[in-house]
């Protein structure tokens, strides 16, 4: 309704800006035409049901329906239907590149939402062998490329450099379809550039406050010696079998959930989800909630667990239960950190990741996993805590390389044959490696009280 007069509109698939009508038809993007025959706007329908309407007489757009995270065009291509998928920064660019390449092409809503859009459809994107980024070559476009690239192993991400033209559609408007195709074909692997050289950049780095990490260890002495758990570091916790490493990791996880707002990914490969949730609730209740004679009801356990996690989408449990595909595990960790925004990842224990392998195959797989995990810790800036069993001489089982790449190593031991129940349940802690500050040696003892399901620090003090 305009000025009291009602206009009738029609919708047709029309070619424009070098893009053929059939391409608009393929993506289901009609042009709105007023009663005088003048094209008014083009509607770009997103898989979530919303439509971005772009006006033709001015550079403006609006949404019909709620704009939600996701990729334009994703519903037009079956997952894994091609070796390659390309991501653009605009709907016109997606149509342009599809017309030239005839392979899957999608678009983010904008450069500012690109990381979130790609994260929402990450599983679909990851089904392709390569992910090509054809974004605008400006600061927002480069930042968008960085956010999307970090969702995937860099070996599968390629960067399409469009040169002096703003975007893909500019090539079609100039009739340079073949040049655009060749540029895409000659794309190179994405390489994140983070080189700093100016005094101003160095000043920003040095002006960052020196802060403690998360003091989440069940031992005050251990927190003092390590300055807590920091992002960008891998912490290795080792113990012989039967020492109580899982309870130790439960305690760390509980403290992080209770004392911070960090999202936590818990990958406990020998523990069913129910047992894991009961353990966290049990620490809150100060009772062994997993035992049938603990005296607590399921309702009380649920209430306690809610008190620990506070909100939905904060704790992410991954039930891996062993595999001989290291890249699947590594990709899952990347997903948990980037798409789920987990600042802390706990893996108990690392050898179970390749439980289907043995001998030299297991060693190579663990060497590979350890190296890639340490690289991701630095690249994505999250805290990683991993557990490894040790053999009789204290070497990490399956691969000695696990200890070499860790930033901090914490060794746990118990005298399981002790007749005194206090000594039997006392965990002795030693730090043999500490890159951050160099503090190593005896790190205090903690007593696990089976009645309260919690750790109690013994009277030990760190002497620097």
Domains and CATH numbers, the chain: 10-189 (3.40.1360.10), 220-457 (3.40.50.300)
- Spans of the chain below 50 pLDDT: 1-6, 322, 462-463
- Please give the angle made by the CA atoms of 359, 363 and 369, to the nearest 5 degrees: 145
Q: What is the reported pLDDT for 3? A: 44
- Given this model, what pLDDT does residue 155 score? 87
* DSSP labels, 108-173: -S-TTTHHHHHHHTHHHHHTSSEEEEE--SSHHHHHHHHHHHTTS-GGGEEE---TTSSSHHHHHH
pLDDT value for 324: 58
- 94 within 8 A of 118, measured Cβ to Cβ: no
CA separation for the pair 427, 429 (Å, rounded): 6
Q: Residue 419 has what DSSP assignment?
A: S
Q: How far apart are CA 33 and CA 12, in angstroms?
A: 8
Classify strands 39-45 and 84-88 as parallel, antiparallel or unpaired: unpaired
Instruction: Please check whether residue 248 is in contact with residue 237, taking contact to mean a CB–CB distance below 8 angstroms.
Output: yes
pLDDT tens track for 325-372: 788 889 999 999 999 999 999 998 888 877 666 667 777 888 888 899
- Say what the alpha-carbon torsion angle 145, 146, 147, 152 is, to the nearest 10 degrees: 90
| CA angle (422, 428, 434) in 5-degree steps | 160
């Amino acid at each position: 309704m305009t000025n009291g007069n009602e206009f009738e509109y029609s919708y047709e698939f029309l070619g424009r800006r070098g893009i053929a009508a059939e391409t608009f038809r393929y993506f289901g993007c009609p042009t709105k035409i007023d009663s005088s025959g003048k094209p008014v706007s083009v509607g770009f329908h997103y898989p979530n049901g919303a439509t971005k309407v772009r006006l033709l007489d001015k550079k403006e757009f609006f949404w019909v329906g709620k704009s939600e995270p996701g990729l334009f065009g994703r519903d037009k291509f079956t997952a894994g239907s091609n070796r390659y998928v390309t991501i653009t920064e605009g709907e016109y660019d997606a149509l342009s590149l599809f017309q030239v390449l005839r392979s899957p092409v999608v678009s983010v809503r904008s450069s500012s939402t690109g990381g979130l859009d790609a994260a929402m459809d990450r599983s679909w994107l990851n089904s392709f062998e390569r992910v090509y980024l054809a974004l605008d070559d400006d600061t927002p476009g480069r930042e968008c490329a960085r956010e999307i690239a970090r969702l995937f192993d860099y070996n599968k991400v390629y960067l399409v450099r469009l040169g002096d033209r703003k975007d893909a559609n500019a090539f079609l408007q100039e009739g340079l379809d073949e040049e655009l195709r060749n540029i895409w074909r000659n794309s190179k692997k994405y390489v994140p550039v983070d080189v700093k050289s100016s005094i101003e950049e160095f000043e920003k780095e040095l002006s960052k406050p020196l802060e403690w990490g998360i003091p989440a260890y069940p031992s005050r002495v251990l927190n003092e010696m390590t300055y807590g758990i920091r992002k960008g570091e891998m912490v290795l916790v080792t113990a012989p079998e039967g020492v109580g490493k899982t309870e130790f990791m439960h305690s760390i996880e509980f403290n992080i959930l209770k004392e911070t707002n960090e999202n936590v990914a818990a990958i406990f490969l020998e523990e069913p989800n129910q047992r894991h949730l009961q353990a966290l609730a049990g620490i809150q209740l100060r009772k062994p909630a997993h035992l049938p004679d603990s005296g607590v009801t399921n309702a009380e356990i649920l209430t306690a667990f809610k008190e620990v996690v506070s909100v939905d989408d904060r704790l992410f449990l991954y039930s891996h239960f062993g595999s001989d595909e290291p890249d699947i595990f590594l990709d899952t960790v990347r997903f948990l950190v980037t798409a789920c925004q987990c600042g802390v990842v706990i893996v108990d224990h690392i050898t179970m990741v390749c439980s289907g392998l043995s001998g030299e195959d297991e060693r190579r797989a663990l060497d590979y996993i350890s190296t890639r995990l340490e690289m991701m810790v630095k690249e994505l800036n999250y805290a990683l805590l991993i557990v490894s069993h040790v053999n009789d001489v204290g070497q990490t089982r399956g691969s000695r390389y696990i200890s070499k790449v860790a930033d901090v190593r914490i060794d746990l031991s118990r005298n399981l044959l002790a007749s005194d129940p206090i000594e039997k349940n006392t965990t002795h802690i030693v730090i043999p490696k500490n890159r951050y500050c160099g503090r190593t040696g005896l790190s205090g003892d903690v007593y696990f009280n089976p009645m309260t399901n919690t750790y109690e620090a013994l009277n030990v003090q760190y002497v620097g």
